[in-house]
Structure 1
Amino acid sequence: MKLSRDEAEKLADRLLYRNVDETVIAVAQDHETREVLMVAYMNREAFVKTLTTGFMHYWSLSRRRIWMKGETSGNIQEVVDAYIDCDGDAVLF
């Protein structure tokens, strides 16, 4: 799943960013098995980058930077779908 920058920004506007780092909770789930692979944080930039590249990007609270899952390990997470919860403070991928 890849969106244009404009489409991704419109979805990012729907999110309710919380905490000092202005983040939402991001849950990555295996598309076939539904197994939860990861629970992490995304800021607006990581969310938009995830939707425009089709690969999961997260905000690291400890390193204070965006990182792509698999950038060093090779274990990438490809985006199939994205669902925003009713409060807008969590996203399921």
Structure 2
Amino acid sequence: MLSPDKRNFWLNRRTGLVSLPRRGRMVELPFDEFDPYLMPFTGYTGRTSYQLVLIHRYSDQHLIYPEEGESPWEVEAFWEFWQQY
């Protein structure tokens, strides 16, 4: 069971909606309205990692996939997986 205080998001395959917890309530938005971005960041040791950020194009909602990738192709693979799911 997911902890309600961890800001978990849900991808519903049947409805095509993404559920995001925001300010104590759930916001549901269509998955196909999210645009993917590859976000590079550098850690304190100088190592560069990448994360997948999905930004809703019609609102200020976004989600960040928590898994880091060591190279851009890994993050692109996450995105391909989500699109096929």
TM-score by length of 2: 0.28
Query: Under a length normalisation based on structure 1, what TM-score does the superposition of the two structures give?
Result: 0.27
Query: Which structure has the highest strand share of the two?
Result: 2
Higher relative contact order (CA 8 A, sep 6+): 1
